[in-house]
Structure 1
Amino acid sequence: MSDFKELIRGAYFEGLLIDGENLWYTDVTRGGVHNLATGQTVLPERTMVGGLLQNSDGALLVAGGGGIEWVNPATDAKGTLVTVDDGVNEMRADGQGGMFFGTIDLPAILRGETPGPSSIRHLARDGTCRVLKEGMVFANGLSLDASGTILLFNESFVATRAFPVGPDFALGEMQTLLDMPDCDGMALDVEGNAWISGFASGELICLTPTGEEVARLELPGPACTNVRFGGPDMSDLYVCIVDPADAQKLADGTPITDQNSAIYRTRAPVPGAPMGRTEFVLG
């Protein structure tokens, strides 16, 4: 196992964003978006945040119930980017100022019920929002490859998928890369490979965009919700470790009271690809 250093412990870590020396994270039960380096907390009342993204002006885009909120940590200015009836999980920049994002049925999850179907949507730089794919079981981690022509997508409880992306962001025929029911978070390395975490897996799986397994990395815990690259050379690897029993508590609507989750850092075997930023005009 690689040399992992524990950075912080909590109830259930999920959202993760690395911006230089700033590590932003979310604990879905505690609420808020927290900066590990400075101790700053923004949107303290916002819970069940599974995804974070950054805009070109430094504002954080924060997924969760009702859609995507934004907040500028430097000014505390905030607002709503897009409203979605059920909720939003993960997001990724599209390379043209907008983003892809996945919806999830958060109201049902909070009631302890089986959630309804998810969708993949696109939000253009000008605010135009459209549905690209409906009827997914549960939308989770996603990434756009360096060419902008393949969208990699974790359909939790089923498999890791790939979609060809057309010039208008339309998604082509879905392909299955890996049957992995617990697929969760995702990050790309500079070689174009996807590092996949599992909410019931104690290792990361590295896949090519065509589904070939490149490597596996043992983790310091039984499950992982998210993975990100960072550091000056993009070779620091950060993971959110959780207890699978706590994932079941979330699904059942049962409170999580123990501090079984932690964020760890290690050195990656290959540098990560930089996370793209959106270019929305906020405020």
Structure 2
Amino acid sequence: MPTATLAELSAQNVLHARARLGEGPLWDDTKQALYWVDILNHRVHIFEPSSGDDCHWDVGDVGSALALMAGDRLLVALGNRLGQLDLSSGTVETLHTFDFEPPGTRFNDGKCDPQGRFWIGSMSPEHPGQAALYRYDPDGSVHTMETGLTISNGLGWSPDGSTFYLTDSPQRQIYAYRFDGATGEISDRTVAIDLSDADEAIEPDGLAIDTDGNIWTALWDGGCVACFSPTGESLGRVTLPVPRPTCPSFGGPNHQTLYVTTASVGLSQQEIQQGFYSGDLFAIAAPVPGLPTHRFGA
């Protein structure tokens, strides 16, 4: 993919959401709609691109990540617990509660693997190295998969399912692991993308993988989505008119629209004025289709 191709792409503002902390976009092929969360406003949204309509459910807690479930339900990561949101009634049923230490630790980004297991990381920004990555299986069992993290973030799988990616935002690194789909185990961690030496004060946030295996990551305080090859080569960036993009996700009929959530939290008045559309939802016509969304229990 030529760098010039990415430089020519533009991000279209498709929803004036003004979210405090938009995150976790998740495409539903059945409904042809995008679920996403506004973490600090405790809302799970559904956006319908065909009409431009957006509605939300108040889940009563910081909801940071989602997964599709059978029936009209969503798996939701809420603070220190996993729950299922009944979309017809708006009620949330707790499935599993975690005893996080130290205080202030909460869930962050999460995603289902191709086998239907839900991977979810925690964040503990005030206590570096105290966050972790967990795997929640359809049988209700919970497995700790990685420790020593600070803000467990963007995660995904290569098209052939042999590689698992995980971001630790304050370290400014995206890790690659060998992934065993049959057992759900990860091993042999390496650094796939290293931004720790970059002059910019940016952090990799959420990520998405396309069908060529390229890694698309939102750069918090970088005002863009960056694309890297499977070998870690920088392929370029797509600029957004806001400083804090949070997470990309492929969607649309052919999975060739890259939706990007953004945040307004923590910005000064001057920064908000300069990035007036902070917290809105954007869409980019991607040159390569993305991988489909995996359902919990699939």
Alignment of 1:78-227 (within 5 A): 78-86=92-100, 87-105=106-124, 113-114=126-127, 117-158=130-171, 159-166=173-180, 167-180=182-195, 182-227=203-248
Check whether the contact 1:24–1:35 (CA below 8 A) recurs between aligned residues.
yes
Check whether the contact 1:101–1:120 (CA below 8 A) recurs between aligned residues.
yes
Task: Name the SS of the counterpart of 1:80 in structure 2.
Answer: strand
4, 24, 32: which is aligned to 2:11?
Answer: 4
The aligned amino acid for 2:140 is G
In structure 2, the residue matched to 1:16 is: 25
Shift, 1:114, TM fit: 4.5
User: What per-residue deviation string (whole Å, max 9, x for no partner) do you get for residues 225-278 of structure 1?
Assistant: 11111111111111123358439xxxxxxxxxx973211112112111111111
In structure 2, the residue matched to 1:50 is: 64
User: What per-residue deviation string (whole Å, max 9, x for no partner) do you get for residues 47-101 of structure 1?
Assistant: 2x32222123342121231122211213545312322223321222122232222
Distance of aligned partners of 1:145 and 1:203 in 2 relative to their CA distance in 1, 3 Å threshold: same
Moved more, 146-155 or 182-191: 146-155
Distance of aligned partners of 1:230 and 1:210 in 2 relative to their CA distance in 1, 3 Å threshold: same
Q: Distance in 2 between matches of 1:29 and 1:98?
A: 26
TM-score normalized by structure 1? Answer: 0.83
Q: Distance in 2 between matches of 1:72 and 1:4?
A: 32
Task: Name the SS of the counterpart of 1:29 in structure 2.
Answer: helix
User: What per-residue deviation string (whole Å, max 9, x for no partner) do you get for residues 167-224 of structure 1?
Assistant: 4222212111122351111011111211011111122222233322233222222221
Q: Please give the root-mean-square deviation of Cα atoms over the aligned residues, in Å.
A: 2.4
Aligned residues: 263
Task: Name the SS of the counterpart of 1:71 in structure 2.
Answer: strand
Q: Distance in 2 between matches of 1:188 and 1:40?
A: 27
Q: Distance in 2 between matches of 1:39 and 1:219?
A: 21
Distance of aligned partners of 1:186 and 1:76 in 2 relative to their CA distance in 1, 3 Å threshold: same
Task: Name the SS of the counterpart of 1:233 in structure 2.
Answer: coil
Distance of aligned partners of 1:190 and 1:210 in 2 relative to their CA distance in 1, 3 Å threshold: same
Q: Distance in 2 between matches of 1:115 and 1:62?
A: 25
Task: Name the SS of the counterpart of 2:88 in structure 1.
Answer: coil
User: What per-residue deviation string (whole Å, max 9, x for no partner) do you get for residues 141-180 of structure 1?
Assistant: 1002232221101111111111112342222121111223
Task: Name the SS of the counterpart of 2:267 in structure 1.
Answer: helix
Q: Distance in 2 between matches of 1:94 and 1:4?
A: 28
Q: Distance in 2 between matches of 1:35 and 1:235?
A: 19
75, 78, 83: which is aligned to 1:69?
Answer: 83
Q: Distance in 2 between matches of 1:165 and 1:4?
A: 33
The aligned amino acid for 2:32 is E
Q: Gaps spanning 5+ residues in structure 1: where? A: 248-257
Q: Distance in 2 between matches of 1:161 and 1:116?
A: 15
